Amino acid sequence: MSTVRVVHYLNQFFAGVGGEEKAGEGPRVQEGAVGPGLALQRALGEAGEVVATVSCGDNFISEQPEQAIEQVLEFVSKYRPDLVVAGPAFNAGRYGLACGQVCVAVQERLQVPTVTGMYPDNPGVEVYRSRVYIVPTGASAATMAATLERMAALGLKLARKERLGLPAEEGYLARGLRFTERADRPAAARAVDMLVKRLRGEPFQTERPLPQYDRVAAPAPLKDLSKATVAVVSSGGVVPIGNPDRMESTFATKWLQYSLAGVDDLTGEAWQSVHGGYDTTLANEDPDRVVPIDVLREFEAQGAVGRIFDRYYVTVGSGASTTTAKRFGQEIGRELVAAGVDAVIYTAT
Amino acid sequence: MRLEMASYLVGDIQFSNRTRFEHGVLHVDRDELRGLLLQSGDFEDVSLEIVRPGEAVRLIHVMDVAEPRFKPGIGSTFPGFVGPRKTVGEGRTHRLAGMAVVSAGGAVAGEPTYWREGIVDMAGPGAEISPFGSTLNLVLEFKPHAKYLDADQPEAELHNIMVGSAFAQRYNHAVRVAELKAAAYLARCTADLEPDDLQVYELAQVDAALPRVIFFFQLNGLAIYGESAEGILPSLIHPNEILDGGLINVRSNGQASTRSSTFFIQNHALVRELCARHGTDFNFVGAIIYPAQADDLDKKELIAEYAVKLARMLGAQGVCSTLFSGGHPYMEFMLICQKCEQAGIKTVLVTSEVYGTPEDPGFVFYVPEAEAIVSTGRSTQQIELPALPRVIGGTELFGLPDPPNGSLSIPMRYLCGLCTTTGYGQLTAKQY
């Protein structure tokens, strides 16, 4: 195995440029290892070589992130590294965020693996842990040498594309990615063991920690519905009969839009639900039950609603990941905002 | 209720001129069995194939899997399908162990196929982790009678995508009847033979001081004694009835990896484990079944309330609770957990999972009380399967563009039974 080429990212302080008074300095590059890089080189031994050190002032990168990242990437790519090591940043907030930002950019745009180190309370951990391998550190630089040893060991594995073990075994903060594996015993035996432990009041370990999802804050109410343009969006799977655009019944990969021009009523002759997660009998008898165009047109005629937007957006919610759902929502939302829509009636099933 | 499960260990299956079980080999009169299955008039043809672990074969369009069983005495073999609707779960039952009857075949008019694809590989990485990659399988490939294929008939109309057209429902039922007829026919040849193993299931009286435990079983696509379980309120059932043919799969709904194949119900791993530790670690009081299909919140709330009330009436102190799969079934599943914990009943949940990213760990709904969960694996994970030259079950995959005999890179959800929440398998998911 050839020597792994490593580029090290540091802030202005650790790169020896200066303290807080130099935090506004832009990116620079130096050949070889600098400052903590010397300990990193010792930790890498003969397996790797720190070929360059790229640094940037913490304020500069936080205030002009795009410019800073472009420059950092240009320096990094010149040295054709197999690995980029950033920090460790310990409990320094701006530095932690910078390390995370550099790692994500290097991974996504240069396709080079990265590793960084931070104190678990560093704000960079919360922002970047799902995308970057972060070695947990102490709060201060006192643990520098030991931290760099762990970062070097992990980094070498990543550079060699070796399969990583569990977070606790390899010494990184769990990224939250879950993979199917064979356990030592059947699920039935594991479940009953867990139950017996619970009945005896003994400690037990769940195999599936509970999540924390984003909460979307409700927007301010409309000032005057009678002047508002209202769009209809649905994940109930109501599409034109025959499903001409082949909306999937589950695990949908797309959203579709259909014109509502001249449509006052969604009839079972012209529309159907292809949603694969609920009993569609009633929806197919009268698709207005899922997408209430008939009633909305009445409100529009009475002047209770200003105008019904003339395009209707639809997908199928069954089996959707929140990641896909979020993307669909943002894409549809952009179109609606651009079209001057004031409010959305969103129906699910 | 005392159930004696008499096992006959099948070391090989061979086609032969007379159906019999001899020296661990099941000899099958292919023509006689085929004739028996064609009698119903539901099929244009049925072909029978034997496939063994390690053979370069891929089964596709798998509809259900069953273990051969025969009941000589009390009760009936597969009540509501093959035998009369007598209570099962007591007396002696013969089982052919180490083998399975696998039903496969195409769809009929008005049958939605978005969930339908179910793959069993007999060799390679798919076989290594799949329960049916290691059983000797007698595969029944069904060709529907032309009467089920006429898309112009009113019976071909699709009103509810979850259950399919009238044709699809009738045909799926006919396939189960045929599969179970075959299963009963095969096991019947052990009627006068001594078993290799005898297991007794009897929830005998135990020390009253032991904690009382029940099992909550969320049902999907299953019939109870031949009757739809879809509209029912939660019901008490003896664990032996689950193991002895009281519940049968009638629909290939849900992703194949978590589908409740009849085989998994007959060999319900969690029920068997709870029985095995009855009297030692706890007092296993019984099982409560409830449907996963309630479409509105009110009904889900009622089901959860009713289920937990039954558990309280039984004096439960601990429960194991299994999720079928899917999205909205999480609601009543989690509500049951919450109401149990609020009533002081300790719960352990068994689920498969999807997605497994930090943004989406795949919980459609959860409660903070759900702190003890066993995972049976993440079914959206990709798996690479090699080309397998011989394919049984069809010529094209449902919902996948690839040729069925080629190499496949697909989510695990297409593989039959991989992540079953009955606890039969050994998979889990770990956080990285």
Residue B350, SS3?
Answer: strand
Q: Is residue A177 part of a domain?
A: no
Residues in chain A, pLDDT under 50: none
Q: Is residue A87 part of a domain?
A: yes
Q: Is residue A209 part of a domain?
A: no
Q: How far is B221 from chain A (nearest CA, A)?
A: 13
Question: Whose CA is closest to B342, among B314, B373, B374, B304?
Answer: B304
Mark whether A158 and A24 lie in a shared domain: yes
Q: Is residue A234 part of a domain?
A: yes
Contacts with B, A 253-312, CB within 8 Å: 273-281, 284
Chain A residues near residue B318 by CB distance under 8 angstroms: 195, 198-199
Q: How far is B88 from chain A (nearest CA, A)?
A: 23
Could you tell me if B303 and B234 are in contact, meaning their C-beta atoms sit under 8 angstroms apart?
A: yes
| Boundaries of domain holding A254 | 225-347
Mark whether A229 and A163 lie in a shared domain: no
CA distance B127 to B111: 28
For chain B, say whether A241 makes contact (Cβ under 8 Å).
no
Mark whether A50 and A123 lie in a shared domain: yes
**Category of B313 on φ-ψ map: left (φ > 0), alpha (ψ -120 to 50) or beta:** alpha
- Total residues belonging to chain A: 349
Residue A56, SS3?
Answer: strand
Chain A residues near residue B114 by CB distance under 8 angstroms: 248-250, 276
Nearest to A199 among B161, B211, B361 (CB): B211
Q: What integer pLDDT is reported at residue A1 of this predicted model? A: 61
The DSSP call for residue B343 is T
Rg (CA), chain B: 21
Q: Is residue A47 part of a domain?
A: yes
ipTM of the complex: 0.96
Extents of the domains making up chain B: 2-414
Strand order across the beta sheet in which B57-59 lies: B120-121, B57-59, B390-392
DSSP letters spanning B132-188:
GGSSEEEEEEEEE-GGG--TTSGGG--S-TTT--HHHHHHHHHHHHHHHHHHHHHHH
Q: Is residue A180 part of a domain?
A: no
Residues in chain B, pLDDT under 70: none
Mark whether A16 and A162 lie in a shared domain: yes
Residues 6+ apart with CB under 8 A from B62: B102, B103, B104, B118, B119, B120, B252, B256, B393, B416
The DSSP call for residue A294 is H
First to last CA, chain A: 56
Question: Whose CA is closest to B370, among B398, B338, B342?
Answer: B338
What tokens does A175 get?
């990224």
Tens digits of per-residue pLDDT, A76-134?
999 999 999 999 999 999 999 999 999 999 999 999 999 999 999 898 998 899 899 99
Q: Is residue A214 part of a domain?
A: no
Could you tell me if A311 and A231 are in contact, meaning their C-beta atoms sit under 8 angstroms apart?
A: yes
Q: Is the dihedral of CA A134, A135, A140, A144 positive or negative?
A: negative
CA distance B47 to B23: 26
Chain B residues near residue A199 by CB distance under 8 angstroms: 211, 213, 281-282, 317-318, 346
Q: Are strands B197-202 and B2-9 parallel, antiparallel or unpaired?
A: antiparallel
For residue A209, cis peptide bond before it (omega within 30 degrees of 0): no
Mark whether A56 and A147 lie in a shared domain: yes
**Distances from the Cα of A192 to the Cα of B69, B199, B214, B275, B350, angstroms:** 27, 20, 11, 10, 10
The DSSP call for residue B181 is H
Mark whether A12 and A159 lie in a shared domain: yes
Q: What integer pLDDT is reported at residue A279 of this predicted model? A: 87
Q: What integer pLDDT is reported at residue A276 of this predicted model? A: 87
Total domains in the fold of chain A: 2
CA distance B129 to B148: 35
Residue A176, SS3?
Answer: coil
Under an 8 A CB cutoff, do A276 and B114 touch? yes
CB-CB neighbours of B352 under 10 Å: 32
Q: How far is A224 from chain B (nearest CA, A)?
A: 32
Which pairs count as long-range contacts for A242-246, CB under 8 Å and 24+ apart, including other chains?
Answer: A242/A272, A243/A272, A243/A274
Mark whether A55 and A158 lie in a shared domain: yes
Could you tell me if B176 and B248 are in contact, meaning their C-beta atoms sit under 8 angstroms apart?
A: yes
Residue whose tokens read 């073990």 = A165
Nearest to A206 among B115, B277, B372 (CB): B372
What tokens does B124 get?
């390679």
Contacts with B, A 147-176, CB within 8 Å: 164, 166-167, 174-176
CATH number at residue A77: 3.40.50.2300
**Category of B350 on φ-ψ map: left (φ > 0), alpha (ψ -120 to 50) or beta:** beta
Q: How far is B64 from chain A (nearest CA, A)?
A: 20
Q: Is residue A55 part of a domain?
A: yes
| Residue finishing a domain among A105, A138, A170 | A170
